[in-house]
Amino acid sequence: MLKLLFSISVSVFVFLLITVYIRKLVLPNLEVQKRMRGISQNSVQNSPEKLNTPQPNIDWRRRTAGRNLADIPFSQRVLLPFIHSAEGYVRLLAPAEISAMIERKLILAGLQYSWTPGRVIVIMLILGVLTLAAVSYRLYHADMLMIQKIILTTISTFSAAAMPIVILNIKIESRKKKIFYQLPEVLDLLSVSVEAGLSFDGAMRRIVDRMTGPLVDECKKLMGDIRMGMIRKTALQKMAERCGVDEVSLFVTSIIQAERLGTSMGRTLKIQADNVRERHRQYVRALALKAPVKIVFPLVFFIFPALLIVALGPPLITISQRFLGGR
């Protein structure tokens, strides 16, 4: 018990020293970076993509102003202010590469307007610290070697801290599949609408009004960028970057080349729709060819043991009874 209290007191003392060091030395030196990031955030908030999109960061001060503490939920009274203040420190102290990587993943997952890199990093730190404390307390009296305790604690801490990134990767793959499955239908409707006499913008506007899905949401952002004055080429390239699907990139490239060379937009869209349909068929055939390989594992671990029990169970029981009876 004394060792535990001593370790806790040392940890608190080190934490206070680090906090004082950050407040006195690090934060004044980062004031210029903070102002520059504030300017960049203002420019991003005024960009065409965010003007027609609900903002993610809930202003908890505005929502809790003029209300009694008993009427304010615990999440808005304690958790949101803590996460908001922690985001500020993380945004200043976190490496730019990690923030850029998480921001890229949020864009590919379609969560760039509901989450921020700072919030994801804060959640990773909270999960890591909680797991470290829980595992350390659990293994404190365990009959294990010190090196085993350190390895198990390290693996558990990093695994818990990496869970948000794993969830983001799963969300990205799911969104890419949805975009890939929806792309042929969108291209067919675009091709039919353009061949019927509509312009590319008019056909895209009709699809946006009558369809739903992740690809349609990206088309809405594309139309918003074009309405705000962005060049169509740049808006299309940004849409391809947000989707992260090769077929969408090929579609965007073909549209840009058709506009540059002056070729028929309807014919280009029809060719792209046929190509995407063919790629979709090849993808389905590949999944069908993988099915026999994937079904081996359920057969080995679930079906074969049951068949062996049904086929060999009665003879083994009979043989054991005769052997024991004869003996």
Last residue of a domain, one of 143, 171, 199: 171
Which residue do the tokens 């379609």 mark? 110
Distance CA 119, CA 58 (A): 12
Checking if the pLDDT of 226 tops 80, the result is yes
Q: Is 291 or 93 the better-scoring residue by pLDDT?
A: 291
- Asked if 110 contacts 217 with a C-beta cutoff of 8 angstroms, the reply is yes
Mean pLDDT calculated for residue range 187-197: 84
Domain that holds residue 88: 2-31+77-171
- The distance of Cα 143 from the centroid of its chain, to the nearest Å, equals 39
Residue with tokens 């993808």, as numbered in its chain: 283
Residues 252 and 135 occupy one common structural domain: no
Q: Which residue has the higher pLDDT, 174 or 76?
A: 174
For the cut 70, the answer to whether the pLDDT of residue 130 exceeds it is: yes
Residues 82 and 19 in one domain: yes
Last residue of a domain, one of 171, 203, 231: 171
271 lies in some domain: yes
Q: Domain for residue 224, yes or no?
A: yes
Q: Say if residue 236 is in the same domain as residue 91.
A: no
Quickly state the pLDDT bin for 170 (edges 50, 70, 90). Answer: very high
Domain of 205, CATH number, reads: 1.20.81.30
Predicted TM-score (pTM) of the model is 0.66
Q: Could you report the per-residue pLDDT of 107-118, keeping only the tens digit for each?
A: 888 888 888 888
Give the model's pLDDT for residue 71: 60
Closest CA to 105 of 120, 91, 95: 120
142 and 283 together in one domain: no
pLDDT digits (tens, 9 = 90+) for 269-314: 888 888 888 888 888 888 888 888 888 887 778 887 888 888 877 8
Token pair 């590319």: residue = 200
145, 247: one domain: no
pLDDT per position as a tens digit, 136-161: 888 777 777 888 888 888 888 888 88
Which residues have CB under 8 Å from 129's CB, separation 6+? none
How many separate domains does the chain show? 2
Helix (H) or strand (E) holding 305: helix 304-326
Where b means 16+ CB within 10 Å and e means fewer, 210-244 reads: eeeebbbbbbbbbbbbbeeebeeeebbebbbebbb
Q: What is the pLDDT of residues 44-90, one digit of tens each?
A: 445 544 444 434 444 545 555 555 555 666 556 666 676 677 666 67
105 phi, psi to nearest 5 deg = -65, -40
59 lies in some domain = no
